[in-house]
A and B are shown apart, each in its own frame.
Chain A
Amino acid sequence: DSGVTQTPKHLITATGQRVTLRCSPRSGDLSVYWYQQSLDQGLQFLIQYYNGEERAKGNILERFSAQQFPDLHSELNLSSLELGDSALYFCASSTGLAGGPSYEQYFGPGTRLTVT
């Protein structure tokens, strides 16, 4: 158990809908990262937050947004869903910022999103 929790575990929704994925980082971790992993695809970095502020952005679509709250939990919002958005979405956390001495990431169990 990594200490990172994600809810829900599974989500099935229709095209055009909007969903929110939730992540609670490990106790004490200030950085939260979101990744997308499609079938047979590698992990694609979406976005990072550190202590409530956006710090790095990857290939995140404009239809997707995220935020980190004062209690450090994070939410990833996916809107106008398309079939191609079906994937595993992982949240990870780490103690510090990228490049710092404690940068190993701890991943949650993921949310499997199916868009029909």
Chain B
Amino acid sequence: SQKIEQNSEALNIQEGKTATLTCNYTNYSPAYLQWYRQDPGRGPVFLLLIRENEKEKRKERLKVTFDTTLKQSLFHITASQPADSATYLCAPMDTGRRALTFGSGTRLQVQP
């Protein structure tokens, strides 16, 4: 069955450092992969979308990579700030299923 794995343990880093979050998926071939940010009790917020033919995508301090051979996406936040503290959700999308499947998310805590 299709499976998405994100680090279940919280990631704690110091302000100014680069945070790297991992998303691994198995048993399907997503045409796209999206990353969302979710704050407690609030709806997820779209951050970045990367297509299967793109290796890397950047937006301001955010960078996403997509390795279809390894079946993995990495999400980087450079020069992290306490305001970046949130849960980050990976969502690979299989065109055939016509639906996003969300990982359980990784909680990032940036210490001042």
Contacts and interface: CB of A to CB of B under 8 A. Distances in A.
Interface of A: 2, 4, 33, 35, 41-43, 45, 48, 55-56, 58, 88, 90, 92, 97-99, 103-110, 112
Name the prevailing secondary structure of the B interface residues.
loop
A110 B43 contact: yes
Contacts of A45: 99-102
A110 B89 CA distance: 17
Contact of A48 (B46, B99, B102): B99
Contacts of A90: 43-44
Nearest to B42: A109
A28 B78 CA distance: 34
Contact of A99 (B34, B44, B95): B95
Given A104-B34, A104-B49, A99 B42 contact: no
Contacts of A109: 42-43
A22 B11 CA distance: 35
> Nearest 3 A-B pairs (CB), nearest first?
A107-B43, A98-B98, A42-B104
B43 A42 contact: no
Interface string B31-44: 11010100001111
Given A92-B43, A108-B43, A110-B42, A97 B104 contact: no
Nearest to A4: B43
B93 to A, nearest CB: 7
B93 A42 contact: no
Given A48-B98, A99-B93, 16 more contacts: A33-B100, A35-B102, A42-B103, A43-B44, A43-B89, A56-B98, A92-B43, A98-B93, A98-B98, A98-B99, A98-B100, A103-B49, A104-B34, A105-B100, A107-B44, A110-B42
